[in-house]
Each structure stands twice: as structure tokens, then as C-alpha cells.
Amino acid sequence: GAVVSQHPSRVICKSGTSVKIECRSLDFQATTMFWYRQFPKQSLMLMATSNEGSKATYEQGVEKDKFLINHASLTLSTLTVTSAHPEDSSFYICSARGVLERGGLVTDTQYFGPGTRLTVL
């Protein structure tokens, strides 16, 4: 249980285009999803927190108009990198926490997706 998928796993795009990344919880209801960015040999940097049905909360320094987050259902959140530039190239990872069993409590544990490698040319 507690599987998170992410699509696409890898994307290469031209500068100026927009890229959408999907994050899905496959076997549980994700009340909260998190989006991270990770540079090579560095830690996970939280970009934003999204709760189903409400606006995302962005971390300081993250442009909300550039990184659009939508959490329309309990199993799906999307991150859209708008007008991507080479400096946006990175490894983007989502994670989810939520209710694993019917009638259960919301877990503290975050389950991570496999990540998306974005390369902007």
C-alpha cells in the first residue's frame, strides 16, 4: 500500500514552453501533497504544500505564478512549470500523506513519487 506515481519520469523541453507534471496516489486518499525540487547532491527543497480543494501554500522564494499547483482530487495533484527556462532544470519530486485505510487517521508519513527529471534547453 501507499504507492505514489509521477508522470512523466523525464521531460526535455524548449525554453519558453510549459510543462505539466502529475502526481497520483494509487491506493490511498492523499489529503495533502507536497512538491519538492532537488538539485544534484543536495537535499529536498520544499516548494509548496497543496491540500485537496484549496489553494497551495508556497514556500518563501517560490514563485506561485511560475509553478502552478492544482490538487483537484484526493488522488491527483499537478505541478505546471510555466515558461520554463534552463535554470528550472531540476529533479522534481512529489510526496503525499493521507488516509491509508477506510476510517483511518491521516498519516504523518510522506510517500514519495519516483520524480521527474526536467531538462529545459
Partner 1 sequence: GENVEQHPSTLSVQEGDSAVIKCTYSDSASNYFPWYKQELGKRPQLIIDIRSNVGEKKDQRIAVTLNKTAKHFSLHITETQPEDSAVYFCAAKGGTSYGKLTFGQGTILTVHP
Shortest distance (Å) from residue 63 CB to partner 1: 19
Distance in angstroms (rounded) separating the CA atoms of residues 6 and 18 = 17
Interface with partner 1, residue 34, by CB under 8 A: yes
Under rule CB under 8 A, residue 115 binds partner 1: yes
Among 13, 20, 51, 62, binds partner 1 (CB under 8 A): 51
Q: Enumerate residues 60-99 that contact partner 1 by CB under 8 A.
A: 93, 97
The distance of Cα 116 from the centroid of its chain, to the nearest Å, equals 9
**By the rule CB under 8 A, 42 interacts with partner 1:** yes
Find the binder of partner 1 among 7, 13, 49, 68 (CB under 8 A): 49
Q: Is 89 helix (H, G, I), strand (E, B) or coil?
A: coil
Three-class SS of residue 85? coil
Alpha carbon distance 35, 39 (integer Å): 14
d(CA 51, CA 36): 15
Residues in touch with partner 1 (CB under 8 A): 32, 34, 41-44, 46, 49, 51, 57, 93, 97, 106, 108-115, 117
